[in-house]
Amino acid sequence: MSPVCASSGALLAYLYVVCILSSWRSPSDSYYDTGTVKEEYDFVIIGSGSAGSVVANRLSAIPHISVLLVEAGKAPDGETDVPFLFGLQIGGKYDWNYRTVPQMNACLGMSEQRSVWNRGKALGGTSVINGMMFVRGNRIDFDDWAKNGATGWSYEDVLPYFKSIETFAIPEYADNGYHGDQGELTIGYAPSYSLASEAFLNACKELGYDSVDYNGPKQQGCSRVQFNIKDGHRASSSRAFLFPIVKEHPNLHITLESTATKIEFNGRRAVGVHFEKHGVSHFVRAAREVIVSAGAIASPQLLMLSGVGPKEHLQELEIPVVADLPVGQNLQDHIYIGGIAATVEKNAVIQDLDVSTYTDYCLHGNGPLSVPAGIEALSFLSTSFVNTSTESPDVELIFFGVSPSTEPAKEYLESLAYKKGVFEKYFLPNGGKKSFQIVPCLNKLKSRGEIKLKSVNPHDHPLIDPKYFSHPEDILVAVEAVKKTLEMIDTDAMKAIGARRWDIPFPGCEDKALYSDEYIECLARHLTHTVWHYSGTCAMGSVVDARLRVLGGVTNLRVIDASIMAKVTTGNTNAPTMMIGAKGAAMILEDNGLAAAKE
């Protein structure tokens, strides 16, 4: 969501830090990969991402059951551990690097009007390349799931599973009854923060917003960001849930660089999984269940390749139909509007890093390198389109204490397929100036998209169409969200550090009065960004039941990942996806008459 470095010198630092870290923090593939795969396991899990790693952890805690975890990527190395540099992973070796089909109403500033959708291709999935923001969602989100038929998914139902995965390290909120202290994932603030982020929080107070624990009793308000970071380093799902137990659970086998290509059925009973590793095809049987945890893009793709999906679409590709279900429909995401930034006069933001910065980080895990891409603070707030008594906030403002006008920022934006000339005309004129940015994210889009197969080849990326701004209300919310962002920049608290809005019009919007509603709409339609919160494509109630079992008469097959959300949660989705993994694993153990999972 942001440029990752304050200067090109940070690239040299990146190499220096990686050299140190990769030698001891990140085990190689051989540490995880079992090397051999048996003919049959009790459970076969496809995907080791935010949910799949948790499922593997919980199921393999039962010594007498066998578990195979199938992962298309490799084990991540030390370059993924440094929070500040996470954006350097975008488009790299740990990224599936999907692209959407051209958008009619959005992404006008991107090449071919297509959005780049980044997904982690590694042990740990997208938790290896994301921004590490830990946001559970709003109580209302889960209560709405339950009211709409997802029995057992109310906030009171899911809270124990949120608590089970975390060790909460923010003292002022640790005893409010909403947090865990025995989980695998360390949750806390980044060790460092800028003066500009303090100004942002003061601006929130000036505008009447409360200071809150947004993962506690109240979400709406402002806060420093809670991250899944431990000792200044990324705490991915694989680091938290697999690394500590893989040698202690001999019943857990992992096969890396293994792409699942098809689920095998006997009638409508899932009996095993086909996968390819290093060009060789393999088949493994599942005595009890196949669990698909490949994410909101790959999970529907695999189901459809296996004959579970919309009948008409499958027949077009001559795929035998196992079950006619709306797989791939109901695609949801959050978006953010780029380009909202301000210059500052005071030395208040994260700027050029020096040798002492790198040394402090390498020795102690402190300093700016411990801050994910300069993400420091956020605010959840509601526009006029929300009934605040019954609905969760529809906007999330994320504060970045770094400039979007540096050379590394240019590389990052180019990885997102910005059209040629956009950086030079809009961002570069403020190059060299101290700047910050505030990113308005839209949390309650009414637009719905879909995922379809491009072909029967499992190695072809599917056709992804989020249909951004296809619902007319979404663009109105975007305009109001940007205006609230500008209101934040214009506060006395921000003026105290010399904050001034950028005054350069975005190319293609020059004919509109700067920051008028018409201009903001134009900007939003040009710089329409995904926030990586893909969900909904195997939704509870239409594709899976409330126990995450695939419907349509299918047996021995579950989906456990963000795709099961009938409606996406409010805020970042990594935390609820991990919770889904923990709750889903508990359901599996209960339904199979096995010991209770950690709760």
Do the Cβ atoms of 570 and 380 come closer than 8 Å? yes
* Residue among 439, 443, 333, 466 nearest 391 (CA): 443
Please write down the HEC assignment for all residues of 545-568: CCCCEECCCCECEEECCHHHCCCC
Catalytic: which of 179, 313, 529, 533? 533
Alpha-carbon distance of 334 to 396, in angstroms, equals: 10
274 marked as binding residue: no
Pairing of strands 233-234, 229-230: antiparallel
DSSP element (H, E) containing 523: helix 517-526
Which ranges of 26-174 does DSSP label H, i.e. alpha helix? 29-32, 52-59, 139-147, 155-165
DSSP class of residue 3? -
DSSP class of residue 320? P
Alpha-carbon distance of 452 to 202, in angstroms, equals: 46
438-448 in b/e form (b: 16+ CB < 10 A) is bbbbbbbbebe
532 marked as binding residue: yes
Q: Can 471 be counted among the known catalytic residues? A: no
Do the Cβ atoms of 522 and 509 come closer than 8 Å? yes
Do the Cβ atoms of 599 and 161 come closer than 8 Å? yes
Alpha-carbon distance of 227 to 185, in angstroms, equals: 10
145 marked as binding residue: no
DSSP element (H, E) containing 487: helix 472-489
Pairing of strands 67-70, 308-309: unpaired
Tokens of 18: 């990686």
Burial of 34 (0-12, 13-18, 19+ CB in 10 A): middle
- The residues carrying an active-site annotation are 533
Binding region for FAD: 126, 532-533
Binding region: 126, 532-533
